[in-house]
Structure 1
Amino acid sequence: MPSRTPSVPVAPDAAPPTQADLLDFVRRTAADRDLVASLPLDPEGRTWVRLDGPGGSEAWLIGWPPGTGTGWHDHADSVGAFLTASGQLTENSLATRLPTDGWKTLELSEDVDRERALGPGTGRAFGVHHVHEVLNPSPTEHAVSVHAYYPPLPRIRRYSRTGQVLRLEAVERPEDWQ
């Protein structure tokens, strides 16, 4: 079983981790070659191990088989960061702020799409309501990444997309992941 990254104790009155803190954590964690190599990789589906993130954040080490991805989603009210530890990932995101609640279908403007290639050691931080999908584009190689979120994920909203139409499909909560 992979080891967990040790967390730093946080005083009750300490400030919550920022996006920069989370990005620093995922960088340091991805540099731990032994931890990254300890993740069991499955040829069929993603694998993951929960880590101890900074300041009470939720963190994960995730293995991505060739050709897998997350689908379009956001992390609701959490800020986050992720970084590719090995392999290659692609992030497709929307450069627009969506309404937080009360909609099922949105027509997106033509200029909102962003694509980032994230090779080893490359990552990013993001704010609340960041809509994206993460993919391993390789037909043959696994990828491994480190992710951190604060506050711990209260919900994930899943979307489908056809052309410029984004549709809210489901809202998942932690109890749905048990």
Structure 2
Amino acid sequence: MTITESPARSYGPTPLTLDELVELTRETAREVRAGLHEIHFDAEHRWSVRLRSDTYADVWLITWTRDQSTTLHDHAGSLGALTVVDGALTERVWRVTPEGAGLRDRRLEAGRGVAFPVGYVHDVVNTSATPAVSVHAYSPPLTAMSYYRVDEAGALRRTHSVLTHDPEPDVPTLTEVPTGPRRTDAPGEAVDR
């Protein structure tokens, strides 16, 4: 992807727009579907690997088995986008509308891409028995994440923030990028794609 400077870019502290981040995740999702990146599923933790990183963006591959989820969070000063490669995910988004504030669910099917601006608070979960795969991009690359809960009165409350370069700060993450045409579903077990 070529980054061009534009005076209309006022989405955040990056030259990339939200639309460009969605396109970046879609391009990478096509690479994953073509078998260019190894996929691993872990029943205990979401599995993730950084596929690329530069001054402007990090791109991550994340897998989800049933009931694996993030916690309600934002991406601090980074814009973000995700595209579902395979399976489906449910995104729970904190929304403020004239009817009131609260969490709203939307189902993200394979091929669907969504973007999130600075300050966007959401949770993502795989509610299906079928494993899911997604590609995420953050620009500028992540440096922090904040976590939230909805209190008894229905208000959003920040519980804590962490400095991190990883969208999965509480789970094991590979430090090297695996590549290859095979999909690994369990240690020592590969499934041809």
TM range (shorter): 0.7 to 0.9
Q: Distance in 2 between matches of 1:126 and 1:133?
A: 12
Report the counterpart of residue 23 of structure 2 in structure 1. 24
Q: Is the 8 A contact 2:3 2:16 kept in 1?
A: no
Partner of 2:142: 153
Identity %: 36
CA distance in 2, matches of 1:159, 1:121: 28
Is the contact between residue 17 and residue 54 of structure 1 (CA under 8 Å) also seen in structure 2? no
Residues 106-126 of structure 1, C-alpha deviations (whole Å, 9 max, x = no match):
xxx734432210010012011
Query: Which deviations, in whole Å up to 9, do the C-alpha atoms of 1:23-73 show, x marking residues without a partner?
Result: 00101111221045x211112210011021576301100001111100100
Going by fraction, where is strand more abundant, 1 or 2?
2
Q: 2:124 aligns with which of 117, 126, 134?
A: 134
Give the C-alpha shift of residue 92 in structure 1.
0.8
Aligned AA for 2:146?
R
Per-residue Cα deviation, 1:72-108 (whole angstroms, up to 9, x for no partner): 00011111100110011011111249xxxxxxxxxxx
User: What is the CA–CA distance in structure 2 between the aligned matches of 1:62 and 1:111, rounded to whole Å?
Assistant: 29
Specify the code of the residue in structure 2 equivalent to 1:144. Answer: V
Counterpart for residue 79 of structure 1: 79
Q: Tell me how far apart the structure 1 counterparts of residues 66 and 52 of structure 2 sit (CA, whole Å).
A: 27
Question: Which of 168, 171, 175 is 2:161 aligned to?
Answer: 171
SS at match of 2:100: coil
Check conservation: 1:158, 1:170, Cα contact below 8 A. yes
Aligned counterpart, 1:106: none
Aligned partners of 1:112, 1:170: CA distance in 2, in Å?
20
- Does the 8 Å CA contact 1:53/1:148 hold for their aligned counterparts? no
Aligned residues: 157
Structure 1 residue aligned with 2:191:
none
* Alpha-carbon distance between aligned partners in 1 of 2:165 and 2:80, rounded to the nearest angstrom: 20
> Residue in 2 aligned with 1:62?
62
Q: Is the 8 A contact 1:50 1:60 kept in 2?
A: yes
1:124 aligns with 2:114: yes
Alpha carbons 1:16, 1:55 under 8 Å: kept: no
CA distance in 2, matches of 1:122, 1:42: 23
d(CA) in 2 for partners of 1:10 and 1:54? 12
- Rounded to whole Å, the distance in 1 between the matches of 2:54 and 2:19 is 11
- Name the SS of the counterpart of 1:141 in structure 2: coil
TM-superposed deviation, 1:9: 7.9
Q: 1:22 is aligned with what amino acid?
A: L
Structure 1 residues 10 and 24, CA, compared in 2 at 3 Å: closer, same or farther? closer
* 1:162 Cα deviation after fit: 4.0
Is the contact between residue 22 and residue 80 of structure 1 (CA under 8 Å) also seen in structure 2? yes
Structure 1: unaligned runs, 5 residues or longer: 1-7, 98-108
List runs of 5+ in structure 2 lacking aligned partners: 7-13, 174-193
